[in-house]
């Protein structure tokens, strides 16, 4: 187990190098930089000498490879740099946005579990009955609606008409996070409950279920202790992938509700060509996905004996 973990952690190093290099290069291909973008957005008129001086102060006058090496060297020394736009420390800025992102992630995943797993199991147990058709129709409807449309509908009914929640977030609180979290949960649940249904149906067709029924074991006992346990690997995979994407921030939903998280921070940085902030966001996303995948692989070994025994034989 220790060797496996070390091997996966070592694989993280070249992956991070490649991802940061590609993102660094693609931003330069956009044909603009923070100084020019800020001038366009603010409508300021600056002479060429002033522009060149500002670019020199930010190091944007140097060749691409030199800029990347300088940034990478500073990163390896624990310095993520400062924002080209705000002048604030990148690391401190990220720490300030993390509470909002973590709260949105936890609430969204919790709602997704509460919605998708019970409905998916119910649809599998009631296969080809009216309730199964209804759940599948709702799933299809949820998959068809984009996040921004769901967000606007929830905002219209629950914030504007019923006035249960604020239209836009007024801080990191449960009341403010309710609508953006529900928006994300609806989209994820619509997709995942079909996967849960298919997984449970596959397990219900196994011979051990028929054998348990023949021995007089209650179906509810077989469903909870055997079928759901065997389905946990698939369900866990779906949820962990969602955790990775949510921790990276969901830019559209955060922008609609003005939720001050990592996703909105990344969108603002991209629009302003704030290279250090973009690179920090890319590093954050890469580490999250590799870390989540590693934790998922380790969880597999505890949930499924077949994977654990196969790894021991290998």
70-74, 98-102, 181-185 — most confident range: 181-185
Q: Which of 1.10.3720.10, 3.40.190.10, 3.40.640.10, 3.40.50.720 is the CATH number of 98-260?
A: 1.10.3720.10
Q: Is the pLDDT of residue 312 over 70?
A: no
Over 70: is that where the pLDDT of 40 sits?
no
- pLDDT over threshold 60, residue 3: yes
Per-residue pLDDT at 101 exceeds 50:
yes
Sign of CA dihedral 286, 288, 291, 295: negative
| pLDDT number for residue 130 | 92
The yes-or-no verdict on residue 21 having pLDDT over 70 is yes
Domain with CATH 1.10.3720.10 in the chain: 98-260
Residue-averaged pLDDT of the chain: 79
| pLDDT tens per residue across span 265-286 | 888 887 777 778 888 888 877 7
pLDDT (0 to 100) of residue 207: 84
The dihedral formed by the CA atoms of 244, 83, 98 and 143, expressed in degrees to the nearest 10: -40
> For residue 161, which of 153, 170, 169 has the smallest C-alpha distance?
153
Q: Which band of pLDDT confidence, cut at 50, 70 and 90, is reported for residue 226?
A: confident
**With 70 as the cut, is the pLDDT of residue 300 above it?**
no
What is the reported pLDDT for 134? 92
Point out the least confidently predicted range of 222-226, 262-266, 292-296.
292-296
- Contacts from 1-7 at CB under 8 Å and sequence distance 24+? 1/298, 1/301, 4/297, 4/311, 5/294, 5/298
Across 141-150, 249-258, 289-298, least confident range: 289-298
Section 57-77 average pLDDT: 79
């Amino acid at each position: 187990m220790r060797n496996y973990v070390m091997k996966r952690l070592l694989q993280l190093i070249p992956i991070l190098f490649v991802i940061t290099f590609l993102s660094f290069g693609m931003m330069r291909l956009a044909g603009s930089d923070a100084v020019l973008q800020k001038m366009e957005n603010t409508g300021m008129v600056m002479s060429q000498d002033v522009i060149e001086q500002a670019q020199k102060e930010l190091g944007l006058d140097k060749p691409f490879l030199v800029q990347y090496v300088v940034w990478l060297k500073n990163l390896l020394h624990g310095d993520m740099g400062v924002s080209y736009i705000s002048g604030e420390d990148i690391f401190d800025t990220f720490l300030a946005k993390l509470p909002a992102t973590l709260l949105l992630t936890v609430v969204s995943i919790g709602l997704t579990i509460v919605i998708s797993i019970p409905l998916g199991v119910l649809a599998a147990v009631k296969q080809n009955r009216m309730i199964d058709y209804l759940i599948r129709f709702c799933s299809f409807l949820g998959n068809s609606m984009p996040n921004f449309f769901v967000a606007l509908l929830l905002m219209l009914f629950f914030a504007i008409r019923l006035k249960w929640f604020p239209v836009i977030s007024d801080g990191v609180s449960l009341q403010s996070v309710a609508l953006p979290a529900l928006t994300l949960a609806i989209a994820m649940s619509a997709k995942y409950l079909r996967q849960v249904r298919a997984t449970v149906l596959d397990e219900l067709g196994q011979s051990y279920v028929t054998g348990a029924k023949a021995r007089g074991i209650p179906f509810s006992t077989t469903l909870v202790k055997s079928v759901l346990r065997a389905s946990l690997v698939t369900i866990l995979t779906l949820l962990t992938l969602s955790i990775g994407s949510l921790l990276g921030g969901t830019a559209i939903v955060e922008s609609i509700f003005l939720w001050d998280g990592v996703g909105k921070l990344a969108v603002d940085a991209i629009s302003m060509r704030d290279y250090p902030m973009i690179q920090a966001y890319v590093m954050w996303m890469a580490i999250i996905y590799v870390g989540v995948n590693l934790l998922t692989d380790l969880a597999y070994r505890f949930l499924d004996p077949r994977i654990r025994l196969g790894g021991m034989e290998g």
